[in-house]
Every structure is written in C-alpha cells, then in structure tokens.
Amino acid sequence: MKQLIAIALSGGIDSLVAAYLLKEQGHQVMGIHFITGYEPAAAVNQNNSSVFLSPDKALSSNKKKKARHTISHITDQLGINAEIIDCSAEFRKNVVDYFIRTYRAGRTPNPCLVCNPSIKFGTVLALARKLGASALATGHYARTTKDPEGRFHLLKGVDQAKDQSYFLAFMTPAQLARAYFPLGDMAKSEVQKLAQEKGLNPLTKNQSQDICFIKDQTYAEFLARQPGFEAKPGIIEDINGNILGEHNGLHLFTIGQRRGINCPAGEPYYVVRIDVKQNRLVVGFKKDLLSSECRVVNINWINQAPASSITVYTRVRYRSKAIRSTLFPIDGSTAMVRFQHPQFAVPPGQGGVFYQDNDEVLGGGWIEKR
C-alpha cells in the first residue's frame, strides 16, 4: 500500500484536482484545511493558541463545525477525511506582521514567499507528520526531482504562464523532500478540463488573489486599519531635491508606481525611492528607475551555495521575466546580481529568485535598496 499523503485543501480547483490525482495514483489521502484568520466566513478564533496542541483543541466545536461544513463540499467529492486546523496565530505572526513591518520600512513585501516555508511547509507539514502523513501535497504549479546523491531539486512547472516555483524558493531541502506537487506537469487548461470531465466542483470559482488576507480593500486601506498605524503626510521631491508637492502617507506607494503622485510634468513621474526616515517620497522619470544590478541578502540556497560567480536567470518579482544575469557571491547568504540588460523598478523587499538554465530554482533572497 502506498504512503499516506496530506493535501492542503483551500477549496479551489487546483488543490481539488491535486487531491484527485493522488488518489488515482493509489495513495492514501487525507485533507488538511488550515484557517488563517482572514477568511470571509467568520469561523476563526483570532486569539487561539498554536495548532500544535492538536486539531481538536485548536478550534472550538462550533467553529470547527462551521469550517468542516465549508470543506465538506470538497472532501465529499473525493471520499476522504479532512482535519481542520487553526493557523491564525502563526499566520498573523509570520506572514501578516511581516507584511505590515515591510511596508512600514518602505519596502515591497511578498507574503507568499514567507507563507510557503513557514506556514504550509512549516506549521501544516509538521502537523500532517504528527497525524501520520509522510508528505504534504499542494496545488502549486511546480516540480521536484531527486538526484542520484539523494538531493532534492525544485523546478518550474511546465505551464510557464502558471509556474509558481518563484514562491517556493525559500523552502529547505528537508521541506522539498516532504513536498508533492501533482500539478507540476500539467497546464492550467488541463486541470480545468480534468475537473470538468470528472465532475469535480471547487468551492471557489475565482482565481486566488495575490494577497489572500486582503479582500475587498486596497493594500493601503488594509494597512490604515492596523492597530497603531498612523498615516503621516510628507513632501514629494524629485531626484535633485526639488520639492514638487505633498503625499498623504508613504504606505500608499511602492517603487515604480506611477498613479497617485499627482505632480504635473512633461512626462509621467514614477516612485524612485521611499525615504521612511525623513518621510519623503522621491520621484523621477522612467529612465531613473533602470538598474543594472542589485544586492540580494539572506539567500536561501536550496542545495550548495556557489563559490564563485555564475550565470543565472534572475526573477525580481513574480510577474516579471527571469533575466539572464551574473551572480557574484559576497558570502554564503549575500550576492550582487548584474543583469544582462538594465531592469525597470527593481523593488527592495521583493524576492530575488535565481534559476539555472531558466528552469531549476537554485535559491532566493531579499532584494535590498539601491
């Protein structure tokens, strides 16, 4: 009999089809539906303690009943059982607080890069292991391979338009060894077709949002509602120090942003720098945002860190193309990356993810300010 694999069930089509494929492959499958505390259905205890207590203790019986009723739409179709666990405390601490803290520092956060290693393949995987599962599967469009030496490698999903390997770049080899990505060899269109053919109906029809915990509001509105947050108006100036106007709070802007500056000029202004210390928004023209290199820190190397300069393909944000670059190691977790062609609006705070042959993820770290 094949091993027991846990599948993180969100209610969407990707995790639903991933679970179906695992069953078709003969695996024993159990579902895990984890609650972040930011679901639209109020089935969450915001002040709950760690999920490691056990699924039964992590949720009150009433809240667990509501959550189970929600996810039963998925488990009934698959013929599997599912555990409902409350990750709200860990999610708030590791993901949401990181998001708020990064914005306040004038950088652009990427919560998914933090959530995958700390929540899905941290908290959820650990609990899955306690429940007897040997691995955790998700609906990510990515692939893993194991080489003859027993090392695990992370590869892009075959569907280039849906590839999500970027978001998994901070995972450790130990986490990859326990990860299953059943959709890695499929295109999104194939997943949708299979679901239709097999009569699999997801709970949610819409595509997942960029930031799962921000719904029906802008990032700025979300930040403004956080305890202790205070919007501080300040000056807008160009790269030469000329004062152009005033802003209503630096949380309204990110590097490369064009909208909302409201300073007339012969050509559009873009955000070039966010000076939190002096509460200044520095703007310039498009040419002022071109960067030939960037520094990346706290790099997670999935396997061995390079000892000397290497050619890589670097992605500086999820929706950007991976650019041929030369990576110059400074130490084991820091590197300078020189792009083959200057890049527009390289955002401090985002993940710089490195690919070998534009396919295998070597690792990733955080982009620093220019």
Centroid of chain to Cα 348: 16
Q: Terminal CA-to-CA distance of the chain, rounded, Å?
A: 54
Distances (CA, A) of 19 to 32, 126, 265: 11, 19, 54
Size of the chain, expressed as the number of residues it contains:
370
Q: Which residues of 346-370 are buried (b: 16+ CB within 10 A; e: fewer)?
A: bbbbbbbbbbeeeebbbbbbbbbbe
Residue 294 designated active-site: no
Q: How far apart are CA 250 and CA 254, in angstroms?
A: 8
Structure tokens at 93: 């601490």
Beta pairing class for 4-8 and 135-137: parallel
Catalytic residue among 87, 115, 263, 294: 115
Which is the catalytic residue, given 112, 212, 263, 294? 212
Alpha-carbon distance of 233 to 235, in angstroms, equals 7
User: Catalytic site residue 212?
Assistant: yes
Enumerate the active-site residues.
Answer: 115, 212
